[in-house]
Amino acid sequence: MQKILTAVVLISFSCAANVTDYETAVPVTHAVVATTDSLPPLPDDFLSFAKSLTGTPYLYGSTDPARGFDCSGFISYVFNHFKYTVPRSSVDFTHFGREVPEAEVKPGDLILFTGTDSTIRVVGHMGIVAENDGKGKLSFIHSTSGKAYGVTTTTLNNYYRGRFVKFIRVFAL
């Protein structure tokens, strides 16, 4: 007898494209359903798979590991590997999942940042939390167009703290 497990995650995000002012965006609630014939993967499984992609080059607009990833393409590819549907664009994660305070962040949670212009407080970059020791040392894995130019693990330093928007939890931990 094959066991079927269906996980339903309620999410809310903006359905407006290219919206820069989320105060005027219309929130829409959606259900994302993932079906699998075994137990659902744990955040550690997502993180291990994400780390296996370290060194994949950066390529804007791509979700193809053979060519490269942009930041949200990387996140989408990792989640889709485990048959979870998530938004494709980093800005669409603004109202996705559940916000969590830094003290409660766990590996597998997502970290959202502004784009490179931190004065524009709209999500434009993201990663997966790799480590949080609870004492201020936090690292995340992401695909960056910066110096590393590809999938890499980065410490949450002053540069990224200046661009930080929030942490979100997609899993029910």
Q: The domain that contains 136 carries what CATH number?
A: 3.90.1720.10
pLDDT of residue 100: 96
Token digits of residue 99: 């916000």
Residue 136 located in a structural domain: yes
**What is the structure's pLDDT at 34?**
44
3-class secondary structure per residue, the chain: CCCCEEEEEEEEEECCCCCCCCCCCCEEEEEEEEEECCCCCCHHHHHHHHHCCCCCEECCCCEECCCEECHHHHHHHHHHHCCCCCCCCHHHHCCCCEEECHHHCCCCCEEEEECCCCCCCCEEEEEEEEEECCCCCEEEEEEECCCCCEEEEEECCHHHHHHEEEEEECCCC
Residue numbers of the chain with a pLDDT score lower than 70: 1-39, 173
Gyration radius of the chain's alpha carbons: 16
pTM: 0.77
154 located within any domain: yes
Query: Within a domain: residue 1?
Result: no
pLDDT in tens, 101-125: 999 999 999 999 999 999 999 999 9
| Domains contained in the chain, number | 1
pLDDT at residue 171, as a whole number: 82
How far is Cα 158 from Cα 19, in angstroms, rounded to an integer?
A: 28
* Dist. CA 63–CA 73, nearest whole Å: 4
Judge whether 126 and 111 are in contact, CB under 8 Å: yes
35: in domain: no
| pLDDT at 38 (0 to 100) | 59
Q: Is residue 118 part of a domain?
A: yes
Contact status, residue 9 vs residue 32, Cβ threshold 8 Å: yes
Q: Is residue 124 part of a domain?
A: yes
Residue 83 belongs to domain spanning: 41-169
Within a domain: 102: yes
Is residue 56 one of the residues assigned to a domain? Answer: yes
Confidence at residue 39, expressed as pLDDT on a 0 to 100 scale: 65
